[in-house]
Amino acid sequence: MRFEGSYCALVAPFDSEGRLDEDAYRDLIRRQVKGGSAGLVPCGSTGEAATLLREEHRRAIEICCEETRGEVPVIAGVGTNATWRAVEAAREAESLGADALLVLLPYYNKPTQEGLYLHLRAVARETRLPVVVYNIPGRTAVNLAPATLARLAKDCPNVAALKDAAGSLDQTSETLRLCGPRLTVLSGDDSLTLPMMSVGARGVVSVLANVAPKETAALVSLFLKGETRKAAALHARLYPLMKALFVETNPIPVKAALAMMGLCRPEPRLPLTPLSADARPVLRKALKDLRLI
């Protein structure tokens, strides 16, 4: 499986009763396929995986696989802070038809580098699917060192990519230097997609794509085709929206944006709360400037 392009980190829409809104979710998935996203990533941070019931988690992956109909790959999120649960979730995602797995580093426990290596190795060895490691220290309180990832990629051939949300171009560069062509790096921060691609990343797992799938896909495509000036100009145009989508904790703003566009309800699940009144004008202006509302 080739990891390249814009992969949408899907939101999980809820209905007025707080349940997974399957109809809205299917509509969002079809919009992503039509909009040119290279793949879909359900049950990640943006999909509020930490607060989904097990059955909701299963249904989110199952519906995503059904609606894509094999047109684009589904990279199912299986992140948790218990290794046995991550292994169990990986097996289930594979049985549901996922094409790859997004494996979050364990949060809260704060394992050592050896613990991170053993956790990821345990998951990788229990599946035939490609594994995308998800490093986001701001949420997990641990950072996967490039040397640890290089060791893992060497020992587990199906560890194929990294969603890099560490926020450090130095670390990205070191990861690429140590891992070489056997591991693909995807940006985990929309505003850093273009800078990260300049040092060797091949795309993004994107929050922005929920709102602007065509534009996000075009940004990555332009850079990969060598049209760097056009890519930079598009980055500059999208940048205010990229920042507005993180004016509060993700996915609070992106769900509010989708609600402004009439695509789903805005409410996240507690402990997250709806977008504050003070932040709404900033987000609305960014959407209007791009003619998305």
Is the pLDDT reported for residue 79 higher than 90? no
Residue 239 designated active-site = no
Q: Give DSSP secondary structure letters for the chain.
A: ----EEEEE----B-TTSSB-HHHHHHHHHHHHHHT-SEEE-SSTTTTGGG--HHHHHHHHHHHHHHHTTSS-BEEE---SSHHHHHHHHHHHHHHT-SEEEEEPPPSS---HHHHHHHHHHHHHT-SS-EEEEE-HHHHS----HHHHHHHHHH-TTEEEEEE-S--HHHHHHHHHHHGGGSEEEESSGGGHHHHHHTT--EEEESHHHH-HHHHHHHHHHHHTT-HHHHHHHHHHHHHHHHHTTSSSTTHHHHHHHHHTTSS-----TTS-PPPTTTHHHHHHHHHHTT--
Query: Is position 279 within any domain?
Result: no
Domain that holds residue 168: 5-212
- pLDDT-derived band at 60 (thresholds 50, 70, 90) equals very high
pLDDT tens by residue, 271-293: 999 999 999 999 999 999 999 99
Instruction: Say what the pLDDT of residue 57 is.
Output: 97
Instruction: Say what the pLDDT of residue 247 is.
Output: 97
> In the predicted model, what is the mean pLDDT of residues 198-218?
98
Query: Is position 166 within any domain?
Result: yes
Residue among 163, 214, 225, 230 flagged as catalytic: 163
Instruction: Say what the pLDDT of residue 1 is.
Output: 83
Query: Is position 281 within any domain?
Result: no
Query: Is position 250 within any domain?
Result: no
Which CATH number do you get for residue 52?
3.20.20.70
Instruction: Say what the pLDDT of residue 23 is.
Output: 97
Query: Is position 72 within any domain?
Result: yes
Residue among 110, 134, 285, 288 flagged as catalytic: 134
> In the predicted model, what is the mean pLDDT of residues 160-173?
98
| Total number of domains in the chain | 1
Query: Is position 289 within any domain?
Result: no
Residue 255 designated active-site = no
> In the predicted model, what is the mean pLDDT of residues 113-127?
98
Q: Which of 57-61, 78-82, 114-118 shows the lowest mean pLDDT across its residues? A: 78-82
